Chains A and B, each alone.
Chain A
């Protein structure tokens, strides 16, 4: 809000009772905001306090074990990276392609409208429902079993609407004049998209992609539903290997009654959050670098 408004407090004494309500509302609002921030701080503190003690090179490079002191996250960490890489390979071309179609080619026809409403709805479907879809479609009907491929296909469908929405937003920031100039020089539609629109929208698209993929790294429920294993003492070798991922390993440890396993879960969470932080930082750095190049 940017209009000139009567400022709360500090006015003439006659108005003081009127502004008491102002001060109360603003204080309560501030309090709610601070409580939410405090909850975030408590969460980070709790996890770091429980987990950092346990975190070590041994923890990162060991396979799961019945003995909490010897257990580690190697299989889960590699599995997570494997799955998210494959998810990206499936979802990125499909999602970006769909976004280009809707934003650059899509008219206001009935099909485009239907596709748009459909994508908005898909973005609101709970992730566990995607897990049931993956179980019925990929694991059973297409006989992929509990493989890395089945997991990646499931997560790709989950990430698709998010990728489409963020890519469209990035394409929308490219000014129309750029497209018109390109057409005026005789470029075709696709030439314009390939040489003008995509390079201009690239930083925005990339940021959206990384954020969408970082969300899939934290997904647990759909992968449990398709039957990803919880005890995997080996690394995935190809797309047909059984696998586990970091959030599932954390869930498995959290569900055990022994305190030592809870500590392992906290250490796993520290690694997971660090991984997400890294991806987000990369997204921000990439965006800044491309923006500077575009400006300079």
Chain B
């Protein structure tokens, strides 16, 4: 009798302990929001929110301080846009090739090799951008500075390419074969089937992949911290040094900024911007993926 009771207690205790592990993940989110919110609120007590969001000068580490985050946002957008311009077409075409044309063997070998690209530490990509891609580009892009937005943008594109190609391929693969067979029966070629039937059918899944990749690009840190420079600048010129939101956080973290100062709080305010933008993108991506799943469940 007592043996059974002990068993019941043990079962109960284990279930509760496991529940605490799972519920702990909510505390992580709460912690992120709390820390960012607390320091950002303190920051906004000293800097008006309109100046922070729309100011065009970012010089918090200088004697003459300005706290307009637009240059950081512009730098982030510029590098991410270059990355997407590389990764989206290349990743999508790779996915179409692997899903609609390549033999099964090619697919099984190439996919994991491409995914190695996503597993390379980003500090390695930073080295690659600074030491290999920038000198290479300088030989045919006139006026390209040693630190610029172009080279880290391209390298970041290479980094997020497997994300787009793998997830898009899953989406293409998830389109029911009946649609393809219908198109073939009507006399379409593979290309017509792929571009006019399969691609539109997989559209929400592919957009989910693209948005997730964009969110990854915005939050990527080391490539830009190494190869893009540290000069916040409101520009669309990819040849000159810029600074992204992430690179700014690294720049301040490397210095010895005492806690509680306004300079220290800037990194949390910039972090808040970064968190909110990636959070919004992730939500949209999640929603699109669920919609795709519902369509073909």
Chain A residues within CB distance 8 Å of chain B: 1-3, 5-6, 8, 18-19, 21-22, 24-26, 28-30, 32-33, 35-37, 39-40, 42-43, 46-47, 50, 93-95, 97-98, 100-102, 105-106, 111, 114-115, 117-122, 124-133, 135-137, 140, 157, 160-161, 164, 188-190, 214-215, 217-221, 224-227, 230, 247, 250-251, 254-255, 262, 265-266, 269, 272-273, 276, 280
Chain B residues within CB distance 8 Å of chain A: 7, 10-11, 14-15, 17-26, 28-29, 31-32, 35-36, 38-39, 89-91, 93-94, 96-102, 104, 110, 113-114, 116-117, 119-128, 130-132, 158, 161-162, 165, 173, 177, 180-181, 184, 189-195, 212, 215-216, 218-222, 225-226, 246, 249-250, 253-254, 259, 267-268, 271, 274-275, 278-279, 282-283, 285-286
Cα of A104 to Cα of B250 in the assembled complex, Å: 41
CB pair B218–A126 under 8 Å, yes or no, is yes
Known: A18-B189, A115-B25, A251-B226. A124 touches B100 (CB 8 A): no
CB pair A6–B278 under 8 Å, yes or no, is no
Known: A37-B110, A94-B21, A115-B23. A136 touches B195 (CB 8 A): no
8 residue pairs from A and B, CB less than 8 Å apart: A2-B104, A36-B117, A121-B282, A121-B283, A128-B221, A131-B249, A157-B28, A280-B119
CB pair A8–B190 under 8 Å, yes or no, is yes
**Please, which residue of chain B has its CB at the minimum distance from the CB of A221?**
B221
| Interface SS majority for chain A | helix
Known: A25-B194, A26-B97, A224-B254. A126 touches B221 (CB 8 A): yes
CB pair B120–A25 under 8 Å, yes or no, is no
**Please, which residue of chain B has its CB at the minimum distance from the CB of A36?**
B161
- 8 Å CB contact of B274 from A18, A24, A114, A128: A128
CB pair B25–A161 under 8 Å, yes or no, is yes
Besides A3-B181, A190-B15, A219-B121, 15 other CB < 8 A contacts?
A: A3-B184, A22-B189, A25-B191, A40-B116, A43-B124, A50-B131, A93-B21, A106-B22, A115-B25, A128-B246, A129-B32, A129-B278, A136-B38, A136-B268, A224-B250
| Interface SS majority for chain B | helix
Known: A118-B29, A189-B11. A265 touches B180 (CB 8 A): no
CB pair B25–A29 under 8 Å, yes or no, is no
CB pair B120–A43 under 8 Å, yes or no, is yes
CB pair A98–B22 under 8 Å, yes or no, is yes
CB pair A129–B275 under 8 Å, yes or no, is yes
CB pair A42–B278 under 8 Å, yes or no, is no
Known: A19-B189, A128-B271, A132-B35. A98 touches B18 (CB 8 A): yes
CB pair B36–A254 under 8 Å, yes or no, is no
